[in-house]
Structure 1
Amino acid sequence: VWDDDYGISVPAKYQTTKEDISEVLSGFQRTPDALGYEIIKVHGWDYTGLIHAYENAADIARVEHVPVLVHVIELTQPQGHSTSGSHERYKSEERLKWEKEYDCNLQFKNWILANNIAEEEELEVLEKEIKKEVRLAKKEAWSEFLEPQIRAKKELVSLLGSVADQSASRIYLTRIKNDIIAIDEPSKKDIASFARKALRYVLGENNTSIDALRNWIDKFLETGEQHYSTHLYNESDSNATSIKEVLPKYSSEREWVDGRIILRNNFDSLLGAHPELIIFGEDSGAIGDVNQGLEGLQKKYGEYRVSDTGIREATIIGQGIGLAMRGLRPIAEIQYLDYLMYALQVLSDDLATLLYRTVGKQKAPLIVRTRGHRLEGIWHSGSQLGGFIHLLRGMYILVPRNMTKAAGFYNTLLKSDEPALVIECLNGYRLKEAIPENLSEISTPIGVVETVKEGTDITLLSYGATLRIVQKVAEELVDVGIDAEVIDAQSLLPFDITHETVNSLKKTNRLLIIDEDVPGGCSAYLLQQIQEVQGGFEYLDCPPETLTARSHRPAYGTDGDYFSKPNAEDIFERVYKIMHESNPTDYPELR
């Protein structure tokens, strides 16, 4: 813990009980009779003290396998927290004087002199040489950074000159050219902005110089895209979306079991096949998770492979990230989807962005297992996917409708090395499913929808637990002459990379998206994908619609669920209303 007595501008007395984090955590200190942490406190300006502290910490951690907290105190922060937070604004004159005296570099110099390692004159010469070297390195680095922009600037100036010579807007184009010439150290933004604005002055004109400028802009923007907007996901051939589907196979006499048995048997196969696989979370170990999807697996594989954790979602995810970055394949279980929000900052800032932030150089293939959707209660029935799909870009978000599909997703993910969130249906563990003969081999494809019922009148898109209700309603709609096509999204991030949904719209010309998120949530995202990415608007004869849960949390009990989330009657009546508006003769008003 790096402790300079401040949290940005706020002093420790407002940050920490007792103004001392190691004092607050003293109850964690191990003793001869009890396990715990080793807590070491050391001054940040004490060079030899720091050496001994970290050598001691390393030995304790590596040899004794005991966690160590190193609390480094009396540190200085000579430049404040940021350029907008100069520490002169909030520190006393006495504190500033102390910081100048106890600057780590000055204290290190004093230690060198006190131990006769060097003379004052030698250190002064060395300091001058170092400053000169740093200035030179800074200049060289800045020149190297600017070089591509300088080259692009010259190319753009030349192109703008050619365009201006042949344009009726020569005066305006010359002004843009001169503006870019005047910038000695142009940024990529400067170059792109001026180049794109130039095209506005040649609207309606056409010659080879303008074509050359357009092509140059396209190439420049493409290069910028590669510099700043790549590696959100694995871009190699080994990415999870490249793994082909392996369908389940069934014997002529199918064995029907609870869905949780399918998960348990599949996790058993995975643990046996992958020695690097570990599963941990709240109640995941001794009782085999709250829904028995890991039943008996801790006893079979041991406490290191299948283990319990405390109720602390943020550190469960942090633990998983660390294990994944060390080469293991962790599955971190968060008991319910609602609880994932306690870990959202870690998931979003540390996991989802890791590959992007490191330009593909680091990865953490953590699989987060949870369960959610309908269960008739305010706390364990959340479906906050509108938030997750936006905050967790960089992870796969998968919403299997049953446990066979879920097992296939786990198998797919372990063939790749990318982070993902798998949301099992909370009300599906006791529903009967047939056990596939090839359970350990099945793979559910990522980014691919599944048409579970073909139809010609309207396309119904849903996912997770709500999809089962949609399937049932589709059967009932046949009785009133409506042939609905039902599509299971299966994968929200990414969604439908093969554009099967728009192919359905070409046939039905109508679209209703049903989910149990709030209005404008995940259903709005799916609509955007279909309309803007897939161009679905071209094939619609009426406005596309969404049917979602209410804006509030699901109310308690069966009645609360019925009036909070889309129910079978809601879906039936909305589909019928769409058909009535298209053809009131064949579909007279229902209510």
Structure 2
Amino acid sequence: MTMIQALRSALDVMMERDPRVVVFGEDVGYFGGVFRVTEGLQARYGASRCFDAPINEGGIVGIAVGMGAYGLRPVAEIQFADYFYPASDQIVSEAARLRYRSAGDFTCPLTLRMPCGGGIYGGQTHSQSPEALFTHVCGIRTVMPSNPYDAKGLLIASIECEDPVIFLEPKRLYNGPFDGHHDRPVVSWSGQSLAEVPEGYYSVPLETASVFRPGQQVTVLAYGTMVWVAEAAARESGVDAEIIDLRSLWPMDLDPVVESVKKTGRCVVVHEATRTSGFGAELSSLVQENCFYHLEAPIERVTGWDTPYPHAQEWNYFPTPERVAAAYRRVLEE
């Protein structure tokens, strides 16, 4: 499956298993979503369980919060992650705090799907990577898969979770894993197909990272599209990099990160979002706090630039395998 197909399969599985699961958002019903993730769900489950919403992100999230408190399992889509800002008060002040404010009397099992990142020349209002803003908010979980298998399993786990989950979907990966250079597709790495997705139910536990690529020389922390960019950098440079795919950004699975950095003594963090106050800053701090006496070189960050998102020049904005490979070499030279 492609990631689009895997996500659709997850929604189909959960809507069939649990009548409380409701899917809605802008254009997700009859049209099947701007990226066709929800295609066919309204025809199968009816307009009361998969329906279109007005262009009102605050209303979409507010309705979903009420649904979750009432006992449903809403899966709401924000058409692009860039559109979440009008809904930020509902996310931060309502969804994230409902369990705490009610002393556990209410929960908010809300899954908020958001296509994120660049790769479609969507410009400043269709290409942002705002994951660091969500990881800062206590009470919500933030997830970003890198491949179709994880995408389906993590989405199912998110829908089953009792807490609100921000589920970020990298647009560059929608049609399958790629080799880190523009959109050249690749369906396997080291003999393991990451596009083989079971048809039925399975879940990938939240708060679990995975070792995407084992290695001995340097630890690379990445998620989403940047997992594939980091892998291309290792493959093409010959550096024996161990790539940790974080998958769940927060709460984060810190143990494999610490174990890997203590083994390699070197760490490179890669993400697409802008550098300043990006999630890489938190990752660098965690590595410094937990692995200081094992580090043989300063931690490197490879990120997007500290500029408004460039439209025509987005491929110059992205971290590339060349930039990531240069960071590998720098930490190995220390």
TM-score of the superposition, structure 2-length normalised? 0.90
Give the Å deviation of 1:385.
2.0
Cα contact 1:477–1:484 (8 A) shared by 2 = no
Cα contact 1:463–1:488 (8 A) shared by 2 = yes
Q: 1:515 to 1:364 in 2, by over 3 A?
A: same
**Which residue identity is paired with 2:262?**
K
Partner of 2:269: 513
Partner of 1:488: 245
Cα contact 2:131–2:142 (8 A) shared by 1 = no
In 1, the alpha carbon distance for the partners of 2:39 and 2:249 equals 29
Partner of 1:396: 141
**1:161-560 equivalences in 2 (<5 Å):** 257-375=1-119, 376=121, 377-390=123-136, 392-431=137-176, 434-437=195-198, 439-478=199-238, 482-497=239-254, 499-519=255-275, 520-532=277-289, 535-557=290-312, 560=313
Q: Quick check: which one's strand share is greater?
A: 2
Partner of 2:184: none
Cα contact 2:118–2:128 (8 A) shared by 1 = yes
In 1, the alpha carbon distance for the partners of 2:205 and 2:10 equals 17
SS at 2:301 equivalent: strand
In 2, the alpha carbon distance for the partners of 1:328 and 1:315 equals 17
Cα contact 1:514–1:523 (8 A) shared by 2 = yes
Structure 2 unmatched runs, 5+: 177-186, 188-193
Cα contact 2:134–2:140 (8 A) shared by 1 = no
**Which residue identity is paired with 1:434?**
A
Cα contact 2:269–2:302 (8 A) shared by 1 = yes
Q: Deviations over 1:208-256 (max 9, x none)?
A: xxxxxxxxxxxxxxxxxxxxxxxxxxxxxxxxxxxxxxxxxxxxxxxxx
SS at 1:324 equivalent: helix
Q: Deviations over 1:381-408 (max 9, x none)?
A: 1012222211x22011001112321211
How many residues get paired?
315
Partner of 2:180: none
SS at 1:517 equivalent: strand
Give the Å deviation of 1:567.
1.4
Partner of 1:72: none
Q: Deviations over 1:339-373 (max 9, x none)?
A: 11221111000111111222222211111111101
Q: 2:324 aligns with which of 546, 563, 571?
A: 571
**Which residue identity is paired with 1:404?**
Y
Cα contact 2:134–2:166 (8 A) shared by 1 = no
Q: Deviations over 1:97-140 (max 9, x none)?
A: xxxxxxxxxxxxxxxxxxxxxxxxxxxxxxxxxxxxxxxxxxxx
By relative contact order (CA 8 Å, sep 6+), the higher-ranking structure is 2
In 2, the alpha carbon distance for the partners of 1:393 and 1:382 equals 22
Q: Deviations over 1:27-75 (max 9, x none)?
A: xxxxxxxxxxxxxxxxxxxxxxxxxxxxxxxxxxxxxxxxxxxxxxxxx
Higher radius of gyration, 1 or 2: 1
Q: 1:446 to 1:529 in 2, by over 3 A?
A: farther
Q: What is the RMSD of the two structures over their aligned residues, measured on CA atoms? A: 1.5
**Which residue identity is paired with 1:436?**
V
SS at 1:434 equivalent: coil
Structure 1 unmatched runs, 5+: 1-256, 583-591
In 2, the alpha carbon distance for the partners of 1:538 and 1:444 equals 33
In 2, the alpha carbon distance for the partners of 1:415 and 1:366 equals 9
In 2, the alpha carbon distance for the partners of 1:302 and 1:361 equals 31
Identical-pair percentage? 30
In 1, the alpha carbon distance for the partners of 2:147 and 2:213 equals 16
SS at 1:440 equivalent: coil
Q: 1:263 to 1:385 in 2, by over 3 A?
A: closer
SS at 1:486 equivalent: strand
**Which residue identity is paired with 1:542?**
A
Q: Quick check: which one's helix share is greater?
A: 1
In 1, the alpha carbon distance for the partners of 2:8 and 2:161 equals 21
SS at 1:264 equivalent: helix
TM-score of the superposition, structure 1-length normalised? 0.52
Give the Å deviation of 1:259.
2.5
